[in-house]
Amino acid sequence: MDTGPALVSILRQGSYLIASVHTALDDSQMVRFQQDLIEQIGQHRSRGVIIDVAALDVLDSFGSKTLRNISEMARLRGATTVIVGIQPDVAFAMVALGMSTGSVPTALDLEEGLAYLHDRVHTGPSAVTGSSLS
């Protein structure tokens, strides 16, 4: 049975997960996306997560809140999250409506998101530098 095109894809890239949202998700789909992504963080022992929303031409308040929740849950599981690809019209609407990504960092595109994670995960305060604890 063909279920149609994927609404979201979650790909593993080394120690990172790249989650691409391909179309607008309703509330139940957003919750399922959140559950799937958080589960995969543990399954793959991911250190970083990129959520690519470039395909979205709208992001409602529930979607924005869910992205913040995903970031916080990922942080609690040891992963850093960055949101990439927010379209200009979406950014304008979010600001006009008083919505934000909170403390979740954003980047222009996937390349900048990967660079952010590389800097944050490999050289950030939580990076292990070879010293041992005694």
Q: Which helix (H) or strand (E) holds 33?
A: helix 27-44
Which residue ranges form the domains of the chain, and what is each CATH number? 8-123 (3.30.750.24)
Q: How far apart are CA 120 and CA 134, in angstroms?
A: 26
pLDDT score of 2: 52
Confidence of residue 121 (pLDDT cuts 50, 70, 90): confident
49, 37 in Cβ contact below 8 A?
A: yes
pLDDT digits (tens, 9 = 90+) for 14-70: 999 999 999 999 999 999 999 999 999 999 999 999 999 999 999 999 999 999 999
